[in-house]
Amino acid sequence: MLNTGSTSAEQGPPLWLLAELTYRCPLQCPYCSNPLEFANHKSELSTAQWIDVFTQARALGAAQLGFSGGEPLVREDLPELIGAARELGFYTNLITSGMGLTEAKIEAFRDAGLDHIQISFQASDAEINNMLAGSRKAFEQKLAMARAVKAAGYPMVLNFVTHRHNIDQIDRIIELCVALEADFVELATCQYYGWAHLNRAGLLPTKAQLDHAEQVTNAWREKLAEQGNPCKLILVTPDYYEERPKGCMNGWGNIFLTITPDGTALPCHSARQLPVSFPSVTEHSLSHIWYDSFGFNRFRGYDWMSEPCRSCDEKEKDFGGCRCQAYLLTGDATQADPVCSKSPHHHKILQARAEAEQPQPGIEELTFRNERTSRIICKA
C-alpha cells in the first residue's frame, strides 16, 4: 500500500454510499456530472450485484445511501433496490431529474421504504429549462412530479444548478421554490468538472452576478424567517471565486464512497477522470477497496503532498483541495488546488475570472451531452 501517512487501522469506515445505477439519461445538460466518455461505459451491475454492494457497505458502517445516475429511474429494478437498502437499515435518497417519475412510482418507492427524493431543475421558466435539458416537456414534468412528491408526504427538496445563463433569475427561482412549498433548496452554482469544465467559458458567472445572487438569497432568507416559513436556502458558490479550496469530500477516501454503473469504486463521483487505477466491486471486496486499494489510499494523509501544501498550516482543513480540479487545471493531481491563492497555478483561476467578464457563448453554443448516443442507450 502507498505510504500516505494513514493506515487502514486509522482510517474510519465509509459513511455515505452513492450508487450511480446508470449513466443513461433522457436529458442533455451541458454541465452533466457523468464522464465525457459516458457512452463507452455501457455495462451495469445487476440487481444482485448492487444488493451485494449495499450489504458489504452496510457491514463496513455506511449509513446513508443515495441512488443516482445518469437518471436512476431508468433502472426498472429501483423499487427492489430501495427495498433491499431499507431492510439493511440505510437512510435512502433518490436523486432524480423527475423524468420518468410518476405518482405510481412515488407510491411504490414509499412502500419500498424510500426516505427522501430530490428533484433537479434547470431554470425557473420552461424555455430555458427545456433548452438546457434538451427536452420540450421537461419543465412541466418536473413541476408535476415536485407537487406529487410533496403530496406523498416527502420533504420537498429541490436542486437548481445555476450558471451565467440563469443566475440572474435567482429571485424567480426562489419564488418558484416557495410556491412549490419547498423545505430545502440547493442553489448550486456549477462546479467545473466533466461537461461543466468543457463548457466553463459559457457557464461561469461573473463576480457581479454571484454577488447579486447572494444578496437576493439573503433577502429571501430574512423574508422567509419573518414569515415563519421553514424553507432553507443553501447557496453554493463556485470554487473559482474563493481564495482557499474546500476540504473536498471531507478528505480523499475519508467518508464518501461512489460505485459507478459498471462497479468501479471511486472516492468521489468525479475521480474517474484522474490517471489513477481504481478497483472494481466485481473483482474485490469493498473492505479491500476501502482500506487497502491503491486508488483509495492515493491521496489519503499528507505524505503525497507537494509544496506549498506539505508545509501549509491549513492542510488539515482543506487536505490540499480538490484532486480532480488540480488535475484538470494543471495536469498533475498532486499539485495544490489552483483555487488556493498560495498555489503557483492560482493565475489560472484569476484568468478564468477575467474571461468571465467578457462576452461568452450563449446557451445554444454550449456543447451538450452526446444527444444521439444518450438517447440510444436510454432505450437500451
Residue 7 lies in a domain: no
Amino acid at 5: G
> Does residue 368 fall inside a structural domain?
yes
Average pLDDT, the chain: 92
Note the pLDDT tens digit of each residue in 227-241.
Answer: 999 999 999 999 999
Least confident interval from 88-92, 127-131, 157-161, 334-338: 127-131
- Percent of the chain exceeding pLDDT 70 equals 95
Res 320 pLDDT > 90: yes
- Mean pLDDT (whole number) for 60-69: 97
Task: Give residues with Cβ within 8 angstroms of 43, minimum separation 6.
Answer: 261, 262
Interval 284-290 mean pLDDT: 98
Q: Which residues contact 7 (CB under 8 A, 6 or more apart)?
A: none
Query: DSSP code of 68?
Result: E
**Can you list the alpha helix ranges (DSSP code H) found in 153-257?**
170-179, 194-198, 200-203, 207-227
Could you tell me the three cell numbers for 169? 433569475
Query: Does 268 map to a domain?
Result: yes
SS3 41: coil
Is the residue at 245 inside a domain? yes
Q: Does residue 376 carry a pLDDT above 60?
A: no
Can you list the positions of beta strands (E) in the chain? 16-20, 64-68, 91-96, 116-121, 157-162, 184-189, 232-236, 256-259, 265-266
Residue 359 resides in a domain: yes
Residue 322 assigned to a binding site:
no
Q: Is 32 annotated in some ligand binding site? A: yes
| Phi–psi pair at 68, nearest 5 degrees | -135, -170
Number of domains within the chain: 1
Q: What is the pLDDT of residue 132?
A: 87
Nearest to 285 by CA among 269, 276, 296: 296
Eight-class DSSP state of 167? G
Q: Which three cell numbers stand for residue 265?
A: 469504486
- Structure confidence by residue, pLDDT tens digits, 107-149: 999 999 999 999 999 999 999 999 888 888 899 999 999 999 9
Contact status, residue 304 vs residue 8, Cβ threshold 8 Å: no
DSSP-assigned letter for residue 205? P
Q: Is the pLDDT of residue 3 over 70?
A: no
pLDDT at 362: 86
Question: What mean pLDDT is predicted for residues 327-348?
Answer: 97
Sign, Cα dihedral of 84, 87, 91, 97: positive
Cis peptide before 70 (omega within 30 of 0): yes
Residue 181 has pLDDT above 70, yes or no: yes
- pTM summary value: 0.92
Q: Give yes or no for residue 4 having a pLDDT over 80.
A: no
Q: Give every CB contact of residue 9 below 8 A, 6+ residues apart in sequence.
A: none
Residue 177 contacts residue 150 (beta carbons within 8 Å): no
CA 146 – CA 121 distance, rounded (Å): 10
Comparing 129-133, 205-209, 256-260, 343-347, the range with the smallest average pLDDT is 129-133
Structural domain contains residue 314: yes
29 among annotated binding-site residues: yes
For residue 221, what are the domain limits?
13-379
DSSP state, residue 228:
T
Q: Which pLDDT does position 372 carry in this prediction? A: 54
380 band by pLDDT with thresholds 50, 70 and 90:
very low
pLDDT at 133: 87
Average pLDDT over residues 53-61: 98
Q: Is 3 part of any domain? A: no
pLDDT of residue 2: 36
CATH number of domain containing 312 = 3.20.20.70
What are the start-end ranges of the E strands in 39-145? 64-68, 91-96, 116-121
19 phi and psi angles, rounded to 5 deg: -100, 100
Sequence-ordered list of residues with C-beta below 8 angstroms from that of 320, at least 6 positions apart, any chain: 245, 299, 305, 309, 326, 336, 337
pLDDT at 134: 81
Convert the pLDDT of each residue in 10-43 to its tens digit: 899 999 999 999 999 988 889 988 888 877 777 9
Nearest by Cα to 268 from 1, 12, 20: 20
Of the candidates 182, 175, 184, the residue with the CA atom closest to the CA atom of residue 219: 175
**Predicted pLDDT of residue 9:** 53
Residue 298, judged by CB atoms within 10 A of its CB (0-12, 13-18, 19+), counts as: buried
- The amino acid sitting at 254 is N
196-255 residue pLDDT tens: 999 999 999 999 999 999 999 999 999 999 999 999 999 999 999 999 999 999 999 999
For residue 8, being part of any structural domain is answered with no
